[in-house]
Amino acid sequence: MNQTAHLSRRRFLLGTGIALSLPAFESFAAGTATNESPRRLVCVGNHLGFYPGNFFPKAAGKDYVPTSTLKPLEAHRDDLTVFSHLDHGLNGGHKAVQGFLTSIKKEEAAGFPEKNVSLDQAAAEHVGSSTRFPSINTGITNGTDMCWTRAGVHVPPINNPATLFRGLFVNSPQGEREAERTRLKYRASVLDALRDSASALNRTLNAADRDKLDQYLTSVRDVERRLQMSKEWIDRPKPKSLIDEVLNAERQHIDQVALFYDLVALALQTDSTRVATLETGLGFRTAELDLESYHALSHHGKSPDRVGQLQVVEAFLTTKLSNFVSRLKEAQIFDNTLIVFGSGMSDGSIHSNRNLPVLLAGGGLKHQGHVDCPVEQHERVPLSNLWLSVLNWFGLERERFGRSTGTFSPMEIG
């Protein structure tokens, strides 16, 4: 791709402007090969949000005083940006959390061309079969529903680290690979028959029914694409792990956060994937931190004791994020990896979906500390504008995403 084509991606410059003005990326220089430094995206979502008083700094800009939740990230202050007063425009408490990476609830998805596709899955489509796994989706506990395909289908997370380890590093026996090849061939033949039947049926339908059929065929094409990717990688050896094998262990344990981060880092480092997610759900246990139930703590009612316990949990989560950033830096892939961290819930005690806790880290960006976006309703910036800019950074040349009204432009943040 020539320099002009690369520079067109500087719509992300408009998309982040004052908030996140891009430095001169080496990959924008004429003659630089981009396949030596692929872009990577990691999205981390916490279902129960973050207590606003623990998360948001009081001052904007680079000289903000870090809150209790941000203190563990202090070593990486120059490599992240915190955003205030962004949200996805949805209501519904826990049900609206699913829209963190989409800005569209599944009940409203039918009116959108890509339904409620999530940020990670849009990026995964762009990666295609360049890696063994277009995306790796992980999560702790039930109630995690952050990731969605363009057909509006929920992508369930892997919630067993041992399963993820085997998928990344343990080669399947020949018999299992042959069985997988047969399974893919059978499913492909069924899809071929469905597609042929649907094409013949299309000629007899009215406009409304043709639209429904088109949505169905989109789902079929999505499955076909995934089948093709799987087939291409069946016989390719997996990379060797840099850590000992992860064995089955107790689930829904808070310490699994660190283990999933380690496995995601290895997946990125070995180029097994370039898109990954981690979801922490409703009820993972926090007894090992000598605290009450995390879900119960989220209903703090502004109790100083419970807010103080939330500080411990939330600082634990950002400490693990900080360790993940350090690991990516050690692997020398941090500047080509953009991390999205936050929640579709703000204050869990009142089930608020406004003023969502969001930060970006890495990506080779010139970060600006704390960006305080407009509060007034008529000036508010949709969170999906930021996601659109993230996709532009990732390499997708597109003009809309979800409910976006444009990229995250400097005019919108004043």
pLDDT in tens, 199-235: 777 777 777 777 766 766 666 666 566 555 566 666 6
Same structural domain, 14 and 98:
yes
Same structural domain, 272 and 209:
no
Q: What is the CATH number of the domain that holds 305?
A: 3.40.720.10
Contact 345, 49 (CB under 8 A): yes
CA 310 – CA 296 distance, rounded (Å): 10
399: pLDDT strictly greater than 50: yes
Same structural domain, 227 and 251:
no
Q: Which amino acid is at 99?
A: G
| pLDDT score of 243 | 79
Q: Which of 202, 236, 270 is the last residue of a domain?
A: 236
Tokens of 299: 């209903």
Rounded to two decimals, the pTM is 0.80
Same structural domain, 384 and 279:
yes
Across residues 383-403, what is the average pLDDT?
Answer: 94
392: pLDDT strictly greater than 60: yes
Same structural domain, 197 and 342:
no
| pLDDT score of 59 | 96
384: pLDDT strictly greater than 90: yes
Contact 407, 389 (CB under 8 A): yes
Residue 252 to residues 69, 136, 256, 272, 294, Cα–Cα distance (Å): 22, 19, 7, 25, 12
Same structural domain, 195 and 294:
no
Same structural domain, 126 and 184:
no
Rounded-to-5 percentages of helix, strand, coil across the chain = 45, 10, 45
- Give the range among 53-62, 219-228, 303-312 with minimum mean pLDDT: 219-228
Same structural domain, 121 and 149:
yes
What does the angle CA 241 – CA 245 – CA 247 come to, to the nearest 5 degrees?
150
Same structural domain, 63 and 192:
no
Across residues 351-367, what is the average pLDDT?
Answer: 93
Q: Residue 247: which of 187, 162, 171 has the closest Cα?
A: 162
414: pLDDT strictly greater than 50: no
- Give the range among 147-156, 188-197, 394-403 with minimum mean pLDDT: 188-197
Contact 164, 158 (CB under 8 A): yes
| pLDDT score of 242 | 76
Same structural domain, 258 and 148:
yes
In our burial notation (b when 16+ CB lie closer than 10 A, e otherwise), range 183-206 reads ebeeeeeeeeeeeeeeeeeeeeee
pLDDT higher at 397 or 335: 335
Q: Please count the structural domains in the chain.
A: 2
Same structural domain, 67 and 13:
yes
The predicted-structure confidence for 91-150, as pLDDT tens digits, reads as follows: 998 889 999 999 999 899 988 888 999 999 999 999 988 898 999 999 986 656 899 998
| Structure-derived torsion over alpha carbons of residues 350, 351, 355, 358, reported in degrees to the nearest 10 | 130
Mean pLDDT (the chain, rounded): 81
Show the domain range for 183: 172-236
Across residues 277-303, what is the average pLDDT?
Answer: 76
185: pLDDT strictly greater than 90: no
Same structural domain, 122 and 204:
no
Tell me the pLDDT band of 285, cut-offs 50, 70 and 90: low
Helix (H/G/I), strand (E/B), else coil: 136: strand
Q: What distance lies between CA 286 and its chain's CA centroid?
A: 24
Tell me the pLDDT band of 194, cut-offs 50, 70 and 90: low
| pLDDT score of 314 | 92
| pLDDT score of 19 | 35
- 365: which residues sit within 8 A by CB, 6+ positions away? 16, 20, 21, 22, 23, 81, 338
Q: Which of 236, 268, 283 is the last residue of a domain?
A: 236
Tell me the pLDDT band of 274, cut-offs 50, 70 and 90: very high
In our burial notation (b when 16+ CB lie closer than 10 A, e otherwise), range 258-296 reads ebbbbbbbbbbbbebbbbbbbbbbbbbbbeeeebeebbe
Q: Which amino acid is at 301?
A: G
| pLDDT score of 357 | 97
Across residues 10-34, what is the average pLDDT?
Answer: 33
What does the angle CA 360 – CA 362 – CA 365 come to, to the nearest 5 degrees?
90
User: Element (H or E) spanning 278, and its range?
Assistant: strand 275-280
Q: Which of 195, 213, 236 is the last residue of a domain?
A: 236
Tokens of 280: 């922490």
Q: Residue 217: which of 200, 240, 204 has the closest Cα?
A: 200
Contact 371, 57 (CB under 8 A): no
Across residues 82-89, what is the average pLDDT?
Answer: 94
